[in-house]
Structure 1
Amino acid sequence: MQRAIGEMTIECIKGDITDQGDIEVIVNAANQQLKGGGGVDGAIHRAAGPQLVEASRALAPISAGQGVITPAFDLPNDWVVHCAGPVYSDDPDVPPQLAACYRTAIELAEDKAAASIAFPAISAGIYGYPLSEAATIAMETVGEAARSVISLRRARFVLFSDEAHDAFAEALSILT
């Protein structure tokens, strides 16, 4: 599923974020200590090699909603943006923190004059964010940014499960 908004094409695919060789920047759903972990974070760290751990730990800690950028090392990409997503709760600060992850990643990619970026479903794994809510926040934030980007032309959401893919594709289909 894909859709053009402004100068950007936003797409959803089912796949492995570490295997996106046609994308310049991939986004890591990182923990605040930037030390690697499970899920997307672990997969990216394993694929990038030990240099990523050293580079990202030097930038830690970061708060929920913040992000930092490192080289991608052994990944087929140029850069990795590490975003610390929020743990899901009814705290009113949580949705803006999740949106900030996507905005920050786009800003960091734009700073590198990248043409493409790939996102996972930030906070929708062990951090417990309901898929439909996470997808809506992600699509609304990226859709809004798409109207004013300078270099980015493609935003790809790479989802690991059918359930995640369907939630993000649905959110993309109703994006205004």
Structure 2
Amino acid sequence: MAITVERGDITEVEVEAIVNAANETLLGGGGVDGAIHRAAGRELLDACRALPIVEPPRVRCPVGEARITPAFGKLRATWVIHAVGPRYRGVSEDARLLASAFRSSLALAEANEAKSVALPAISCGVFGYPIDAAARIAIGVARERAWRIDAIRFVLFSDDVLRAFQDALAKSAP
């Protein structure tokens, strides 16, 4: 299993599954979520709307969990895994929920036999998670066990996030 960190646009990466940094409604938003929905088109929104609501009024995916839909439109993936990370509040529960979002994403990729997955920096945009801490958590989850995934790629949009993930990966080397 290879873990890599790269700068790029997750909507253009050719992998079997891309992870979307989603909100609990799964109905689109800004940042990575908005970019993925724009690239996939209306069919992705319809697939998300078809997922059951698990908490009224509109929660389809609770914080720390993930859901999977087919990929559509211009996406070069088979699956979109929608992961909901926490809004950063500075409490210990934040780290547990963020790790759970990454873990749930990799588990869904594995369960659907995806051999390659691209992940963004979940919760680091408008949800306000400190980048260095999020990078350590994300890389830690990727390394915590031997996932049945050949390639785990962290695809990051900005240089500062890229540097944080590169540093976390280098410090976690076995």
TM-score, normalized by the shorter chain, greater than 0.5: yes
**CA offsets per residue over residues 76-133 of structure 1, 9 Å max, x none?**
1000000011000122211111001111111111111111000000000000001000
Report the secondary structure of 1:93's partner residue. helix
Q: Tell me how many residue pairs correspond in the alignment.
A: 165
1:168 has 2:165 as partner: yes
1:159 and 2:152 aligned: no
Q: Identical aligned pairs, as a percentage? A: 48
- Correspondence list, 1:100-115, <5 A: 100-115=100-115
2:50 & 2:25 partners in 1: Cα distance?
10
Return the alpha-carbon distance in structure 2 between the equivalents of residues 31 and 57 of structure 1.
13
TM-score, with length taken from structure 2: 0.92
**What residue identity is the alignment partner of 2:109?**
A
Post-superposition shift, 1:57? Answer: 2.3
Aligned residue for 1:5? Answer: none
Q: Please identify runs of 4+ aligned residues in structure 1 that moved more than 3 A.
A: none
2:10 equivalent in structure 1: 17
Matched, 1:66 2:65: yes
3-state DSSP of counterpart to 2:92: coil
Counting only pairs closer than 5 Å after superposition, residues 87-166 of structure 1 correspond to structure 2 as 87-145=87-145, 147=146, 149-150=147-148, 152-166=149-163
Of the candidates 40, 44, 53, which is equivalent to residue 48 of structure 1?
Answer: 40
Cα RMSD of the aligned pairs, angstroms, is: 0.9
Segments of 5+ residues of structure 1 without an aligned counterpart are: 1-7
Query: 1-side partners of 2:45 and 2:36: how far apart?
Result: 10
Partner residue of 1:3?
Answer: none
Amino acid at match of 1:117: V
Specify every segment of 5 or more residues in structure 2 that has no aligned partner in the other structure, as ranges: 54-59
- What are the superposed Cα offsets for residues 130-166 of structure 1, whole Å, 9 maximum, x if unpaired? 1000000000011113x2x23x110000000000000
Higher mean C-alpha deviation, range 43-52 or range 83-92: 83-92
Tell me the residue number matched to 2:30. 38
How far did 1:58 drift?
2.3
- Farther-moved stretch of structure 1 (69-78 vs 56-65): 56-65
- The code of the aligned residue for 2:99 comes to A
**In structure 1, how many angstroms separate the alpha carbons of the residues matched to 2:158 and 2:92?**
28
